[in-house]
Amino acid sequence: MSQQNTAPRIDLVSDTATRPTPGMRMAMAEAQVGDEQRGEDPSVNALVERSAALLGKEAALFLPSGTMCNQIAIAVHCRPGDEIIAAANAHILGTESAGAAVFAGSFIRAIDAPRGIFGAEDVAAAIRYKSVKSPRSRLVSVENTSNGGGGSVWPHEVLRAVAAEARAQGLAAHMDGARLLNAAIASGVSTRDLADGFESVWIDLSKGLGCPVGGVLAGSREFIAEANVWKHRFGGAMRQAGIIAAAGLYALDHHVERLAEDHANARLFASLIADIPGLGVDPANVETNMVFMDTSGTGLDPAEISRRLLERGVRIGAWDRTSMRAVTHLDIDEAGVREAAASLRALLAS
Ligand SMILES: *Cc1c(COP(=O)(O)O)cnc(C)c1O
C-alpha cells in the first residue's frame, strides 16, 4: 500500500476521508463508557436505541465497520449453498473480499444494473426454480445510495416493490445503507420509510457522517440476537466502545442535515468540469455526493490522472480502468470543489 505522510489538501477520494471535528472530539472525550460486550456501555446503548428508531426496527447492533454489518447480515440470512440477488456493481459483490462466499458459503447472482438500481421484475427473473440442483435463492440485497451506481438514490416505490417481491417469494431483503442518510436527505423520504419492508438495514457512521469508526445494523429483536452471536464470533464485540459511539450520537445530531451541502458541492463540481474536453461527466447523474468521470476520451489512464492531480494537492481516485470517482464530504467546502475543478481542467488542458 502506498503511504503518505500528509493528506492531500483537497481529498475527494472518499467520504471516509473526514476527520472528527473539534465538537465530535469533545463529545468523545466526555463520553460515558462501560463494558460494551456486557451491554453496559451507556453511550453504545443510546446509539443503538436511537439508530433502531431512526431505521424503524426493533433493535440494533453497533459494529466496527460497514463491511461487518453486511457480512453479519448475510451470515444470519444465508446458509451454505444459498444465493443472494444483488446488483453487479454492489459493494458486497466486488468490494468485500468475497466475504459472502467465505463466511456464509453463499454466492451472489449479479443483476446488470448500471445505476445500481433494479426492479421487482428483475428479482422475479433472478429467482431460481426450486430444484435439488439449483442454489436456493435466499436474499435480495439493495444498496441505497448505490456507490458503484454513482451515488444514485433508489425511488421509494421501487424499494417497496423489491421488498414486496422478496417477501412474496419467501426471500429476505437486506439494505446496504452505507449512505442511507444521503438518500434520505436527497429524496426527502425518511430513513424509516426507506427501510420499511427490509429485514435488515444498516448505516455507516464513518462515511458522510464524519465519525472515525463504526456502523449500526438494525432489524427485528430475533435478527439482532443472532447477529450479536456473529459479532462475537467475528471478534467484533468491543469494550469501552462508548468513546466511538459518542461520535455517532454527535453525528446524528449535527451531521445529517448538512449532507445537503455535500450534494450541492458534488453538483457544483460536476457542472464545473462538464465541459473539460475528453472527460465524460453528466451532471444530471449526480444525485448525492459522488461524481463519476469517464476518462476514456482523455487518452490517459485514470491512475495517471490521479497521480498528477495529487502533485497539485488534490486527490481523486481511479475507480476502474476508464473512470474516476470524486466524493464530497464534511471536510470539503465550495472553495475546495472550485480548486479541484480548476486543477483537473489545468491538468487535462496541458
Ligand atoms: C463503504 C461501503 C461499505 C463498507 O463500509 P466500511 O465501513 O468501509 O466497512 C459497504 N457498502 C457500501 C455501499 C459502501 O460504500
**What element of type H or E holds 320?**
none
Mean pLDDT of 33-39: 96
User: Measuring from atom 8 of ligand 1, which residue has the nearest CA?
Assistant: 66
- Answer yes or no: is the C-beta of 94 below 6 A from any ligand 1 atom: no
Does ligand 1 come within 6 angstroms of the Cβ of 182? no
Query: Does residue 35 contact residue 240 with C-beta atoms inside 8 Å?
Result: yes
Q: What is the pLDDT of residue 7?
A: 80
Number of other CB atoms surrounding residue 7 within 10 Å: 13
Confidence (pLDDT) at 113 = 97
Query: Does residue 185 have a pLDDT over 90?
Result: yes
DSSP one-letter code for 220: -
Beta carbons of 28 and 22 less than 8 angstroms apart: no
Cα 90 to averaged position of ligand 1 atoms, centre (Å): 10
Nearest-atom number in ligand 1 for the CA of 68 is 9
Q: How far apart are the first and last CA of the chain?
A: 29
State in Å: Cα 93 to ligand 1 middle. Answer: 12
Cβ-based neighbours of 162, under 8 Å, separated by 6 or more: 118, 119, 120, 123, 140, 142, 173
CB-based contacts of 26: which residues, under 8 Å, 6+ apart?
A: none
* Interatomic CA distance for residues 253 and 294, integer angstroms: 36
pLDDT of residue 5: 56
User: Among the atoms of ligand 1, which is closest to the Cα of residue 204?
Assistant: 7
Is residue 67 lining ligand 1, measured as CB closer than 6 Å?
yes
Q: How many A from CA of 34 to the centre of ligand 1?
A: 27
**Helix residue ranges per DSSP H, the chain:** 22-29, 42-55, 66-77, 91-94, 99-103, 120-126, 156-168, 180-187, 191-195, 221-233, 242-254, 259-273, 302-311, 334-349
Cis, peptide link before residue 145, omega less than 30° from 0:
yes
Residues 324-336 have a mean pLDDT of 98
Residue 81 pLDDT: 96
Share of the chain above pLDDT 90, in %: 97
State the pLDDT at residue 4. 52
Residue 60: is its pLDDT beyond 90? yes
Cα of 91 vs centre of ligand 1, distance in Å, is: 7
How would residue 350 be classed by pLDDT, with cut points 50, 70 and 90? confident
Q: Encode pLDDT of 210-262 as tens digits.
A: 999 999 999 999 999 999 999 999 999 999 999 999 999 999 999 999 999 99
Residue nearest to atom 2 of ligand 1 (CA): 178
Cα distances from 52 to residues 32, 57, 159, 216, in angstroms, run: 20, 5, 19, 9
Mean pLDDT for the stretch of residues 200-204: 98
> What is the per-residue pLDDT across 280-307, written as a single tens digit (0 to 9) for each?
999 999 999 999 999 999 999 999 999 9
Pocket test of ligand 1: the residue of 147, 213, 289 to mutate, having most ligand atoms within 8 Å of its CB, is 147
- Residues 111-162 pLDDT 10s: 999 999 999 999 999 999 999 999 999 999 999 999 999 999 999 999 999 9
Is-contact 179 208, C-beta < 8 A?
Answer: yes
Q: Please identify which residue in the block is written with the cell numbers 438514490.
A: 153
Q: Which of 21, 6, 2 is nearest to 329 (CA)?
A: 21
Work out the mean pLDDT of the chain and round it to a whole number. 96
Does position 14 have pLDDT exceeding 50, yes or no?
yes
Task: Judge if the beta carbon of residue 178 lies within 6 A of ligand 1.
Answer: yes
Listed in sequence order, the residues at least 6 apart from 45 whose beta carbon sits closer than 8 Å to its beta carbon are: 39
C-alpha cell at 329: 464530504
Question: Checking DSSP bridges between strand 10-11 and strand 323-327, what pairing results, if any?
Answer: unpaired
Q: Quick check: 3 pLDDT over 80?
A: no
What's the mean pLDDT in 168-197? 98
Which triple of cell numbers denotes residue 116? 445500481
Residue with cell 439493495: 142
For residues 166 and 196, the answer to whether their CB atoms sit within 8 Å is no
Per-residue model confidence as pLDDT tens digits over 90-107: 999 999 999 999 999 999
Of all atoms in ligand 1, which is nearest to the CA of residue 147? 13
Distance 23 CA to ligand 1 centre (A): 25
User: What is the C-alpha to C-alpha distance for residues 347 and 340, in angstroms, rounded to an integer?
Assistant: 11
In the reported structure, the alpha carbon of residue 178 is separated from the centroid of ligand 1 by a whole-number distance in angstroms of 6
pLDDT: which is higher, 70 or 5 = 70
User: 4 or 7: which carries more pLDDT confidence?
Assistant: 7
Predicted pLDDT at 1 = 45
d(CA 38, CA 148) in angstroms, rounded, equals: 38
Contact indicator for 114, 237 with CB cutoff of 8 Å: no
Is the C-beta atom of 15 inside 6 A of ligand 1? no
Give mean pLDDT, residues 177-181.
98
Please say if the pLDDT value at position 2 is more than 60: no
Among candidates 226, 241, 212, which has minimal Cα distance to 38? 241
Backbone angles phi, psi at 118, to 5 degrees: -130, 165
Among 13, 84, 91, the mutation site with the greatest number of ligand 1 atoms within 8 A of its Cβ is 91
